[in-house]
């Protein structure tokens, strides 16, 4: 607490020995390179846990800068260590590297034409969530901070993380596995920062919010077992399709009637439902999968219990059974920004974005495994707008869309933000 009180006092008087002018100048000098790096990564996307080329590209860049490099962390993760010219704490900066199983439809000259096996089929691969921008921004940040190395009062750890988009039933997400393999140790990290490009904000605008920012995400599977029979005589069996439809409606009452969601929204959605092989046969079994999103750990636990109870009781009322699986170990925790750290660095974000361009970001029911880093050390996750200023962000293609687009002019703001917030954190501590 003493540390953060000191941070607040220092930031309120804008006292800093950080070479802000040099950081901004160096960022501007490499802007073209940052854009080229993004286009390269965008054109050569790799799915979760397959980021071989991306990791090699990053590692070589860091080595060329004279940064200590560790590869093969949590699969294909890359970690760089930059020791400043003065003693001080350790700050980590994180970028995720993986792409999505999405076929690109942007028509850009550097659009992805990559395909890869995914499950039992061949799919298009695209950086439809902007991780290519995250990689390029952090590569640029590393180059900028090397340029002011002697002024840094501590150490910067650059974390290039695989498998943020990793899908169930992967045993551990990229962030969790990196933590398990010691990414926050040797040297021990004191604070961590990360960003995400966001299409719902104008290019260069920064979104920041203390406390909960993004929701937790839990995999949900409900297996409903009835008794197979001819569809012409449903009374001779137990219809799991009808029971499943009742369960889908029933679990919506968890949010509307069973959990106090004042101040902490929550969502449960069913995304798949499979059952039956023929139009005139009522099957034995139906399997549904979905997702549960919450912001509060207590609400999350309550949701799990009440969804399970509701599904089981509805099934029992019709003579069927419902087996409910909620993947506690395969989901994300809520992304929660450390309140004191967020507020203490607000002036840095104002300085980078410019007056009026730092906004309070809305809660989003999307999820991020950056949350696992925040469970270990104080962390701040912020958003960077990437929709061109002459376009309406409300009409922009959303993250994960095959039409998702990143305005390259926003990248330099990301570099300046990451570099300045790291340098300021080290100096103020």
- Active-site residue, selected from the candidate residues 98, 104, 165, 368: 98
50 closest CA partner among 143, 141, 117, 135:
117
Q: Does 339 qualify as catalytic in the annotation?
A: no
Quote the CA–CA distance of 172 and 339 in Å, as a whole number: 27
**Per-residue DSSP letters for 11-38?**
HHHT-----HHHHHHHHHHTHHHHHHHH
174 closest CA partner among 384, 379, 368:
368
Cα torsion 139, 365, 288, 319 to 10°: value is 150
Listed in sequence order, the residues at least 6 apart from 83 whose beta carbon sits closer than 8 Å to its beta carbon are 68, 149, 155
Average pLDDT for runs of 10 along the chain of length 429: 45 64 98 98 96 98 98 96 98 98 98 94 97 98 98 98 76 86 98 98 98 94 97 97 97 91 87 96 97 92 94 98 86 94 98 96 94 97 98 96 98 98 97
307 closest CA partner among 257, 232, 233, 239:
257
Peptide bond preceding 412: is omega within 30 degrees of 0, i.e. cis? Answer: no
- Tell me what pLDDT residue 9 has: 42
Give SS3 for 68: strand
* Residue 238 DSSP symbol: B
Give SS3 for 225: strand
Cβ-count burial of 327 within 10 angstroms (0-12 exposed, 13-18 middle, 19+ buried)? Answer: middle
> Are β-strands 68-73 and 77-83 bridged in parallel, bridged antiparallel, or unpaired?
antiparallel
Pull the structure tokens for residue 232: 């012409």
Listed in sequence order, the residues at least 6 apart from 182 whose beta carbon sits closer than 8 Å to its beta carbon are none
Residue 350 has a CB neighbour count (10 Å cut-off) of 15
Please report which residue ranges of 30-108 form alpha helices under DSSP H. 31-43, 52-64
- Tell me what pLDDT residue 262 has: 80
Give SS3 for 325: strand
97 closest CA partner among 156, 54, 139, 44:
54
Cα torsion 52, 133, 337, 149 to 10°: value is 80
Residue 269 β-bridge partners: 291
Q: Does 164 qualify as catalytic in the annotation?
A: yes
Contact 141, 93 (CB under 8 A): yes
- Active-site residue, selected from the candidate residues 164, 190, 424, 427: 164
Give SS3 for 48: coil
Which domains, from first to last, does the chain contain? 2-212+335-428 (3.40.630.10), 216-326 (3.30.70.360)
Quote the CA–CA distance of 229 and 234 in Å, as a whole number: 6
> Are β-strands 216-225 and 285-294 bridged in parallel, bridged antiparallel, or unpaired?
antiparallel
- Tell me what pLDDT residue 171 has: 54
Q: How many CA atoms lie within 13 A of 339 on its CB side?
A: 3
Pull the structure tokens for residue 228: 């197979």
| 425 φ, ψ (degrees, to nearest 5) | -60, -45
Residue 317 has a CB neighbour count (10 Å cut-off) of 11
Contact 204, 413 (CB under 8 A): yes
């Amino acid at each position: 607490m003493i540390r953060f009180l000191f941070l607040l006092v220092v930031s309120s008087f804008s006292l800093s020995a950080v070479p802000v002018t040099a950081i901004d100048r160096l960022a501007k000098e490499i802007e073209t390179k940052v854009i080229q790096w993004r286009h390269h990564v965008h054109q050569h996307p790799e799915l979760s846990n397959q980021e071989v080329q991306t990791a090699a590209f990053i590692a070589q860049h860091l080595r060329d800068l004279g940064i200590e490099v560790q590869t093969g962390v949590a699969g294909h993760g890359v970690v760089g260590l930059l020791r400043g010219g003065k003693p001080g704490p350790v700050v980590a900066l994180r970028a995720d590297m993986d792409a999505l199983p999405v076929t690109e439809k942007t028509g850009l000259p550097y659009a992805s034409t990559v395909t890869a096996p995914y499950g039992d089929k061949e799919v298009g691969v695209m950086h439809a969530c902007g991780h290519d921008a995250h990689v390029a921004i952090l590569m640029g940040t590393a180059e900028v901070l090397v340029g002011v190395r002697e002024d840094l009062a501590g150490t910067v750890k650059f974390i290039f993380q695989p498998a943020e988009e990793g899908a169930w039933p992967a045993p551990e997400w990229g962030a969790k596995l990196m933590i398990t393999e010691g990414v926050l140790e040797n040297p021990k990290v004191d604070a961590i920062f990360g960003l995400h490009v966001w299409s719902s904000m104008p290019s260069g605008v920064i979104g920041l919010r203390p406390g909960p920012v993004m929701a937790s995400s839990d995999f949900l599977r409900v297996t409903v077992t009835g008794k197979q029979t001819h569809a012409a005589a449903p009374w001779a069996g137990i219809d799991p399709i009808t029971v499943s439809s009742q369960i889908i409606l029933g679990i919506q009452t968890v949010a509307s009637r069973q959990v106090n969601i004042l101040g902490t929204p929550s969502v449960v959605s069913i995304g798949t439902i499979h059952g039956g092989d023929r139009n005139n046969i009522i099957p034995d079994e139906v399997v549904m999968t979905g997702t549960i999103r919450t912001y509060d750990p207590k609400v999350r636990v309550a949701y799990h219990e009440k969804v399970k109870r509701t599904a089981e009781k509805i099934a029992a009322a019709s003579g069927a059974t419902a087996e409910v699986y909620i993947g506690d170990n395969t989901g994300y925790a809520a992304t929660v920004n450390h309140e004191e750290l967020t507020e203490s660095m607000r002036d840095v974000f104002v300085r980078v974005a410019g007056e009026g361009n730092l906004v309070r970001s809305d809660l989003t029911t999307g999820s991020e495994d950056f949350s696992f880093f925040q469970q270990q050390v104080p962390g701040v996750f912020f958003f960077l707008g990437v929709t061109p200023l002459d376009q309406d962000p409300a009409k922009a293609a959303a993250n994960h869309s095959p039409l998702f687009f990143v305005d390259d002019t926003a990248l330099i703001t990301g570099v300046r933000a990451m570099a300045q917030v790291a340098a300021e954190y080290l100096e103020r501590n």
